[in-house]
Amino acid sequence: MNKNIKDKLKKIKLLILDVDGVMTDGRIIMDDKGHEIKNFNVRDGHGLKILQRYGIKVAIITGRQSKVTEYRAKDLDIEDVYQSAFNKKDIFEKILKKHKLSASETAFIGDDIVDAPVLKKVGFSAVVSDAHDVVKKQADYITNKKGGQGAIREVCEMILQAQDKWKEIAVKYEFD
């Protein structure tokens, strides 16, 4: 990890996520009754739980309204969930005030043009590898993994490594 990215990640106290295309692979499955189904990656979820155990807050800002998102957020103990967010920048400012954070203490993972205003404001901006080309140009980091396929976990581990928490996690989980 280069020094510039590591320096940005050291400051992070809050990770904000988009949902469709970031927490999921971007597909929305609907059955013949209109019930929505989304696939979430269990390793992404575990990465978020580890972040939370080390004091990093997690929030969600998504343009869609979905019960599935509510259930997943509850499952992951994410309290700050903003759905039907058509102006993500305004929601971002609201989150900063609520948690008394500066923009430099926040990270955001997005994938599409609606995420661009927040990507420009945060201390560390990441997009998934299959993000829209326009937002890739604005990100500090492009994940190696695709949305819904481990991209969140990748960023979680980067934050924990930059903040010198990874060795402690390795001891706890007994890996090298």
**pLDDT tens by residue, 77-120:** 999 999 999 999 999 999 999 999 999 999 999 999 999 999 99
Among residues 1, 54, 23, the alpha carbon closest in space to that of 162 is found at 1
- Mean pLDDT, the chain, as a whole number? 96
Strand pairing of 36-37 and 29-30? antiparallel
pTM for this predicted structure: 0.96
Cα separation, 120 vs 103, in Å, equals 10
Q: Are 55 and 13 in contact (CB under 8 A)?
A: yes
Contact 126, 19 (CB under 8 A): no
Torsion of CA 128, 105, 78, 98, to 10 degrees: -130
* CATH code, 145: 3.40.50.1000
Domain that holds residue 75: 3-173
Q: How confident is the model at residue 127 (pLDDT cuts 50, 70, 90)?
A: very high
Looking at the structure of the chain, the number of domains it has is: 1
What is the amino acid identity at position 39?
A: N
